[in-house]
Structure 1
Amino acid sequence: MGLLEELKTKILTADGAMGTLLYSNGIEYCNEELNLERPEIIERIHREYIQAGADIIQTNTYGGNALKLARYGLEHQVKEINRAAIQIAKRAAAPGGQYVFGTIGGIRGIRKSDASLQEIIAMVNQQAGYLLGDDPDALLLETYYDFEELAATVSYLKKLTDTPIIAQVSMHEPGILQNGMSLNDALQQLEALGADIVGVNCRLGPHHSIQALEEVVLPSKAFLSAYPNASLLDVEDGRVVYEPEADYFGRTALLLREEGVRLIGGCCGTTPKHIEAVKKRIGNLAPVTQKEVVAKKPIVIREAEALEVKPLHEKAKTERTIIVELDTPRHLDISKFIEGSKALDKMGVDAVTMADNSLASPRISNMAMGSILKHQENIRPLAHITCRDRNLIGLQSHLMGLDALGIHDILAVTGDPTKVGDFPGATSVYDVSSMELIQLIKKLNEGISFSGKPLRKKANFSVAAAFNPNVRVLDRAVKRLEKKIESGADYFISQPVYTKEKIIEIHEETKHLETPIFIGVMPLTSIRSAEFLHNEVPGIKLSEDALERMRACGEDKDRATAEGIQIAKELIDTAAELFHGIYLITPFFRYDMSVELIRYIRQLDSQKESESSYVQASY
């Protein structure tokens, strides 16, 4: 009798964690390499699970793909590692006739950039090919957070083999996948794609796994599986630990049965004792063939509040729009910052934009200063957010705080590396790239958290992305813009540009894009600052003409300021003719220079409007 035939009338018990037992014995390297280096350890663990009553064991190949093995320099040993793993498992199972599953683990987490679908399928093809060479009883796809990846893998494998496929998703939140899809919908789709067994594993303990499965209807053709963690994880003395209550785990198996689960195993934190407890409780109980699914009341996601003013990206499509960067202080005296912001606002600037610890040096939080500007001074703030300083938890918390404060204009950037700043030994986080951050922010605009959980209200962020045109081949930079647009960028803010020719080139290369671009202009204050910007600040390059003009000013500060403003005005002449959006970067807190440039832009627009009116009157 085969696996699927037996599941028609029985509940089968699978094994538990492999990594947990290896970890508890001080093995913290590459688990899969042990298939070659210490096969007796892997075989012993298989036999311990079989002695505990497991009807099924799985190969030690969760991370047996080329991408994960590359972390240890083992990407060229995919064949040897996977073939050895299934032979070890078969050898352990032979005396008792237990089923052997060939395990393939998910690759993507939240970051889709970890691997493209094409790369994933290539790795699945390679790993599955070696596993299938030794005729496993099924292929187990486990710990898939990205539903797109799992669906593509199931579809591919169904074309490759007739071997049964078990497809298991992992959830951050009970009943909801990372993409916001309900667990019930996900399992139904996997069944429709041809998966023979569908279910859940990892991340959640028994309580939350059962809670999630309460909303799942019994599949019409497939069977349900569940491999919960032993509990929620904890950390003791720097080591990950789980609650060891094996009897509790066994009792919860009865509740899993009531939800229609026919294949019960364990994931992180489970041991042979947990599996023995499951086997003891389940015994020869027949599977449930009918269940009542009580649909939970859906969480209503309210629409975002209406914005008080037109989004910057909407205005910049048709009207002159000026934003000015003013760095928040590196000290605790905010008086000059407020003074400068008021001066800019008086000139009619559309928003004051604040970097997020630029050059990796700590400044007063732009969230705090943005709140003061908005609520105390009625000035519109635009806050930058880097991927450098916050992990995913911090990023979502920060964004939720911005929404609560009514700060809706943000710029998502990667962030300068910490080694250029005040604390070169500080850790750079970079959980996500700037493109992925944009995608996650857009999820918040749908009322969905990074983990897929409903947030009860939609955010209303207008998201800018950075654009560095100071590159040798502008076409490549434009292609990156196109990818950012696909990720959800509403508009672009460029690094400062220092030649008219570059501005014209930007216009020619981007005129096919409907997404507005704010051209960056930063006035120079001295030859020393010009040399610093040109030679030391990432993403900024000056023209030789601009450098020569500043050199000619020598140490005359007034002359240098006047020349820096004149260079900026010449650049604005071209930028204002070709783009609606102008982004002024205030140099070294010289907001008086930004004020003069705003005045100049307004005069240009007024002059152009007068000329247009004169022409119309002449007709």
Structure 2
Amino acid sequence: MGLLDDLQTNILIGDGAMGTLLYSYGIDRCFEELNLSNREQILRIHQAYIEAGANVIQTNTYGANYVKLARYGLEDEVKKINEAAVQIAKEAAKDRAYILGTIGGLRTLNKNTLTIDEIKRTFREQLYALLHSDVDGLLLETYYDLEELTTVLAIARKETDKPIIAHVSLHEVGVLQDGTHVSEALKQLEALGADVVGLNCRLGPYHMLRSLEEVPLPTSAFLSVYPNASLPEYRDGRLVYETNPGYFKETALSFREQGARLIGGCCGTTPKHIAAIAEALRGLKPIVHKQVKQQKEAIVVQEPPYESDPPLHEIVRKRRSVIVELDPPKKLGIQKFLAGAKALHEVGIDSLTLADNSLATPRISNVALGTIIKEKFGIRPLIHITCRDRNLIGLQSHLMGLHTLGMNHVLAVTGDPSKIGDFPGATSVYDLSSFDLIQLIRQFNEGLSYSGKPLGQKTNFSIAAAFNPNVRHLDKAVQRLEKKIQCGAHYFISQPLYCEKQIEQVYEATKHLSAPIYIGIMPLTSARNADFLHHEVPGITLSDDIRARMAACANDPLQSAREGIAIAKSLIDAAFELFNGIYLITPFLRYEMTVELANYIYEKARAERKLSNV
């Protein structure tokens, strides 16, 4: 009799956690490497779960893949570690338990750190090692990203006819992080050939039960569930799970009532929890009929508030558009900033862009200043958002706050690392990449949080993304733009350019893109300014000619400013022929320079319109 035959008539008991159990023993390194260096400890854990009543155990291979082992310099040991894990599990089982080869999900918060092709290559290497070692089945567990799970499941189903258990993980009750309802997700997995479908990790028994209440019994597969012990407590620098095993005894009966036929435990569970489950279910048969709780009526997500003005990405497609960056001050006091904002607004710019602690230097909050200039002058603020300073929780809160304030133009950027700024010891968060942040904002525009939970309203963010053309291989920079468009970017704002020929090259390389580009122009203020930008600011390169022109007037501040303006106008002339959008960057709050340049652009635009009407 095999695993699937057994599940036809019986409820099987899975094992519990491996990683968190080892962690509770004080081990804080690569758990999978222990298959080689301390096999006796892994063997004892398997044996303890079997003695507790588990008749299905999983190999200690959750993270035994190239990507995760590479963190420990063990990327060349994938085959050896997986094979050793199966040997240890077989020694423990001795025909008393089925052995599942476990493969964990790779995508977590930074979805775009791994491409699907990279996931496929990594998955296949581990898959073949486990299948070659002759496991009884496969357990695909802790997959938050449905695209990843469906991709690897399809590969596994093609390579083997052994039983496959496929588990999704949820941030919120009943819904995946992309908004897919859990019943629909499990249906997709069943259609792709999974023999057992279900849930594991992240949620405890209470929330997993609530999720399964809306899931019908599969027609050609079985249900499984591996809840966490509880929510972890952070104590003395360590995560601690403390759920009473007796609670698992009670909830095991409820899981049976929801149709689960394979019941085990995930993070925080121990042999005591598994023993409680086994005792509760001893002698009981699985149910064959289930009353499914009606899903709640679809939550109506309100459309965003009506906007009388079109967003920037629509404006720049139709006409000349000028946006200007005016950095928030590094010190308290905003009189000069407000004077600059007012002067630029009177010129007629379409938006004032506000950096988010540029160069990792603390400045007055761009949201605070954006609120002030919006209310005081009616200026459209374009708020930069970096991934550096806020974790995933803070980023979502930040976006909700911007929406609530009616500021719906944002620029999503990775952000300069903390080590280049005033506080090099500060932590750079980077929960998300700029690609992930763009996707998150797009998901907000669809009315969903990162976890897939409805926000109650759709946001209406116009999403800008950064473009650095000052690179050795422009084609690779353009590929990044293409990827950002796929993620949801509406338009791009470039780093400043200082060469007419380079502007032409950028146009030729990007003219096929569906998203418009604002070309960055930043006037130089002095020879020292030019040298600093050229040598020390990432992503900015000046030509030898421009540096020589600035050097020629190094001792005359007024002439230096005039030369900087002249260079900028020449660059504007080149950009004007090829791009509708110009992004002026104000140096050192010297707004009179960008006021003059904005006037210059609008005069050119008026002259252009007159010629077209002749």
Give the TM-score taking structure 2 as reference length: 0.98
**Structure 2 residue aligned with 1:439:** 439
List runs of 5+ in structure 2 lacking aligned partners.
none
- Going from structure 1 to structure 2, the CA distance change for 1:599 and 1:386 (only over 3 Å counts) comes to same
* CA deviation after TM superposition for structure 1 residue 125, in Å: 2.1
User: 2:345, 2:377 within 8 Å by CA — same for their partners in 1?
Assistant: no
Partner of 1:134: 133
Matched, 1:484 2:489: no
Please say if residues 469 and 477 of structure 2, whose CA atoms lie closer than 8 Å, have aligned partners that are also in contact: yes
CA positional deviation for 1:319? 0.3
Task: Say whether the 8 Å CA contact 1:519–1:583 is kept in structure 2.
Answer: yes
Deviation at 1:524, TM superposition (A): 1.1
- Relative to structure 1, the CA distance from residue 114 to residue 598 in structure 2 (aligned partners, 3 Å threshold; closer, same or farther) is closer
Whether the aligned pair in 2 keeps the contact of 1:107 and 1:114 (CA below 8 Å) is no
* Aligned counterparts of 1:522 and 1:119: Cα–Cα separation in 2: 39
Q: How does 1:528-539 map to 2 (within 5 A)?
A: 528-539=528-539
> How many angstroms does 1:440 deviate by?
1.3
Other-structure match for 2:575: 575
Taking the aligned partners of 2:476 and 2:225, their CA distance within structure 1 comes to 46
Matches within 5 A, 1:409-428: 409-428=409-428
What is aligned with 2:243? 244
The one-letter code of the counterpart of 2:284 is L
The one-letter code of the counterpart of 2:130 is L
Q: Which amino acid aligns with 2:183?
A: N
Could you list the runs of 4 or more consecutive aligned residues of structure 1 that deviate by over 4 angstroms after TM superposition?
none
* Matching of residue 586 in structure 1 with residue 586 in structure 2: yes
- Alignment match, 2:364: 364
Matches within 5 A, 1:463-542: 463-542=463-542
**In the alignment, what sits opposite 2:551?**
551
Report the counterpart of residue 159 of structure 2 in structure 1. 160
Residue 266 of structure 2 corresponds to residue 267 of structure 1: yes
* Residues in 2 aligned to 1:289 and 1:253: alpha-carbon distance in whole angstroms: 17
Which of 434-443 and 222-231 deviates more? 434-443
Mapped partners of 1:512, 1:336: distance in 2: 41
- Residue 288 in 1 paired to residue 287 in 2? yes
Q: Offset of 1:76 from its aligned partner?
A: 1.2
Q: Name the counterpart of 1:103.
A: 102
CA distance in 2, matches of 1:214, 1:274: 22
C-alpha separation between the residues in 1 aligned to 2:544 and 2:155?
56
Aligned equivalents of 1:6, 1:561: Cα separation in 2: 82
Deviation at 1:298, TM superposition (A): 1.9
Cα distance in 2 for partners of 1:473, 1:141 equals: 39
Report 1:157-196 matches (<5 A): 157-196=156-195
Mapped to 2, the partners of 1:293 and 1:538 lie a distance apart of 57
Query: Equivalences for 1:60-459 in 2 at 5 Å?
Result: 60-94=60-94, 97-294=96-293, 295-459=295-459
Q: Secondary structure at the match of 2:57?
A: strand
The one-letter code matched in structure 2 to 1:109 is T
Q: Distance in 2 between matches of 1:478 and 1:19?
A: 42
1 CA distance for matches of 2:573 and 2:110? Answer: 42
Offset from partner CA, 1:436-462 (integer Å, 9 cap, x none): 211111111111111111111111111
- Alpha-carbon separation, structure 1, partners of 2:240 and 2:376: 48
Task: Give me the whole-angstrom Cα distance separating, in 1, the residues matched to 2:114 and 2:136.
Answer: 28
> How many Å separate the matches in 2 of 1:127 and 1:504?
48
Q: SS where residue 8 of structure 1 aligns? A: helix
What is the CA–CA distance in structure 2 between the aligned matches of 1:101 and 1:472, rounded to whole Å?
A: 48
Q: Secondary structure of 2:577's partner?
A: helix
CA deviation profile, 1:41-80 (whole Å, cap 9, x unmatched): 1111111111111111111111111111111111111121
Q: Which SS does the other structure have where 1:356 is aligned?
A: coil
On the 8 A contact 1:110/1:146 being kept in 2, the answer is: no
Q: How big is the shift at 1:244?
A: 3.2
Asked if the contact 1:17–1:266 (Cα under 8 Å) also holds between the matched residues in 2, the reply is yes
Q: Give distance in 2, aligned partners of 1:611 and 1:511.
A: 25
Residues 198 and 358 of structure 1: CA distance in aligned 2, closer, same or farther (over 3 Å): same
Residue 617 of structure 1 is matched in structure 2 by none
Give the counterpart letter for 2:584 in structure 1: L
**Superposition pairs of residues 41-56 of structure 1, within 5 angstroms:** 41-56=41-56
CA contact (8 A) 2:50 2:96 kept: no
Instruction: Report the Cα offset of residue 362 of structure 1.
Output: 0.3
User: 1:169: Cα distance to partner?
Assistant: 0.5
- 1:353–1:384 CA contact under 8 A, matched in 2: yes
* TM-score of the superposed pair, with normalisation by structure 1: 0.97
Distance 1:475 1:122, change over 3 A: closer
Query: Does the 8 A contact of 1:110 with 1:145 survive in 2?
Result: no
1:303 is paired with a residue whose SS is coil
Compare 269-278 and 536-545 and name the one that shifted more.
Answer: 536-545
Bigger mean CA offset, 306-315 vs 222-231: 306-315
Matched residues in 1 for 2:122 and 2:534: separation? 44
Note the residue ranges of structure 1 that are not aligned, 5 or more in a row.
Answer: 615-619
The Cα of 1:154 is off from its aligned counterpart by: 1.1
CA distance in 1, matches of 2:353, 2:428: 23
Give the counterpart letter for 1:516 in structure 2: P
In structure 1, C-alpha distance between the alignment counterparts of 2:100 and 2:399, rounded to whole Å:
43
CA distance in 2, matches of 1:610, 1:113: 47
Task: Map residues 19-38 of structure 1 onto 2, 5 A cutoff.
Answer: 19-38=19-38
Match of 2:39 in 1: 39
Residues 73 and 371 from structure 1, CA distance in 2 versus in 1: closer, same or farther, beyond 3 angstroms? same
SS of the aligned residue for 1:100 comes to strand
Give the superposition deviation at 1:282.
1.2
Deviations 1:286-329 (A, max 9, x none): 21111111222221111122223111011101201110000011
Q: CA deviation at 1:572?
A: 1.2
Cα distance in structure 1, aligned partners of 2:562 and 2:496: 18
How far, CA to CA, are the matches of 1:146 and 1:467 in structure 2?
28
CA–CA separation in structure 2 for the residues paired with 1:78 and 1:473 = 34
Tell me the secondary structure at the aligned position of residue 432 of structure 1.
coil
Residue 87 of structure 1 aligns with an amino acid whose one-letter code is Q
Whichever residue aligns with residue 605 of structure 2, its letter is: D
